[in-house]
């Protein structure tokens, strides 16, 4: 089984989801999204696949959230997606995609529904 994970190694949820994928024997493509940020179009595709509005993927405790005034833009999908593509620390993680679907895997055990 193939899987893609948008991963941050400093995040315990991300490390946990990756470990579960590896334990399941998945062929995992790891994208370190802080080093290789998704474009706005790629983010939009991921959000659409998850059936999630951008505000639900947004990390509101990051400095960039306040600096960019995103609290006032929570209904502006395009602005939030653009902010996350320009400031990838704003993206919640891990996002995992398999043939069974795409999900934000918080808690990491959420990934089990994508590999079972």
Q: Is 111 helix (H, G, I), strand (E, B) or coil?
A: helix
Beta bridge partners of 5: 30, 96
Q: Which of 3, 7, 11, 96 is catalytic?
A: 11
Of 37, 12, 33, 46, which is closest to residue 20 (Cα–Cα)?
12
Identify the helix (H) or strand (E) that includes residue 104: strand 101-104
Asked if residues 101 and 46 have their Cβ atoms less than 8 Å apart, the reply is: no
Residue 35: which residues within 8 A CB-CB, separation 6 or more?
A: none
105 labelled catalytic = no
Would you please indicate which residues are annotated as catalytic (active-site) residues?
A: 11
């Amino acid at each position: 089984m193939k899987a893609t994970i948008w991963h941050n190694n400093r995040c315990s949820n991300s490390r946990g989801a990756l470990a579960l994928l590896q334990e399941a024997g998945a062929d995992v493509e790891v994208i370190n999204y802080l080093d290789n940020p998704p474009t706005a179009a790629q983010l939009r595709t991921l959000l659409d696949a998850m059936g999630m509005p951008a505000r639900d993927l947004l990390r509101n405790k990051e400095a960039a959230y306040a600096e960019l005034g995103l609290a006032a833009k929570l209904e502006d999908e395009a602005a939030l997606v653009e902010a996350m593509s320009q400031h990838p620390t704003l993206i919640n993680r891990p996002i995992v995609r398999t043939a069974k679907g795409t999900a934000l895997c918080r808690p990491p055990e959420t990934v089990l529904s994508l590999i079972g």
